[in-house]
Chain A
Amino acid sequence: MNARIHIILLLLVPLVMGCYKDDLDVADLNNNPFDPEYVGPAVFELEGTYTQFVDLGEFTVLYQVIEVRVREDLFLSSAAYTVQLTDLQLGMVQNVVPDPPGSNIWKYYREPAPGQEICVELRLANNQSTAGATTFCVTL
Chain B
Amino acid sequence: MWMVFLVLGPFVSIPTSLHAQSTGELRFRFEPPQGVQYVLDGKHRMTDRELTLLEGAHRFTFWAPERRMLDTTFFVLAGRTQEFTVQLRYAVEFVDHRNALLRYERNRKWARNLPPVVAAGAAGWAVVSFIRFGDRHSALQDLREQYRSSADPEGIRSLKESAIPEAKDDFARSRTQTYVSTGVLAIALGATAYFRQHFARSSPPEFKDEERIRFEGLVYHPLPDGGTWAAGLSILLR
Interface residues of A, Cβ cutoff 8 Å to B: 3, 6, 10, 13-14, 16-17, 20, 22, 24, 26, 29, 32, 34-37, 75-77, 79-81, 124-131
Contact = CB atoms under 8 A, between A and B. Distances in A.
B148 A32 contact: yes
B164 interface: yes
B155 to A, nearest CB: 7
Given A3-B193, A81-B151, A24 B164 contact: yes
Contact of A131 (B126, B153, B165, B178): B153
Which of the listed residues A20, A22, A26, A80 has the most CB atoms from chain B within 10 Å of its own CB?
A: A20
Contacts of A36: 153, 156-157
26 contacts: A3-B193, A10-B185, A10-B186, A10-B189, A13-B178, A16-B130, A22-B137, A22-B172, A24-B140, A24-B144, A24-B164, A24-B167, A26-B165, A29-B144, A29-B147, A34-B152, A34-B153, A35-B147, A35-B160, A36-B157, A75-B151, A76-B148, A79-B149, A125-B153, A127-B152, A129-B154
Nearest to A24: B140
A20 B160 contact: no
B175 interface: yes
A37 B158 CA distance: 12
Given A17-B133, A32-B150, A80-B151, A6 B189 contact: yes
Given A22-B168, A79-B149, 10 more contacts: A13-B126, A20-B134, A22-B140, A24-B167, A29-B144, A29-B147, A35-B153, A125-B153, A127-B153, A128-B154
Interface SS majority for chain B: helix
B178 A37 contact: no
Interface SS majority for chain A: loop
B151 A34 contact: yes
A14 B171 CA distance: 15
Contact of B182 (A13, A32, A76): A13
Contacts of A10: 182, 185-186, 189
A129 B185 contact: no
B143 interface: yes
B160 A37 contact: yes
Contacts of A6: 189
Nearest to A3: B193
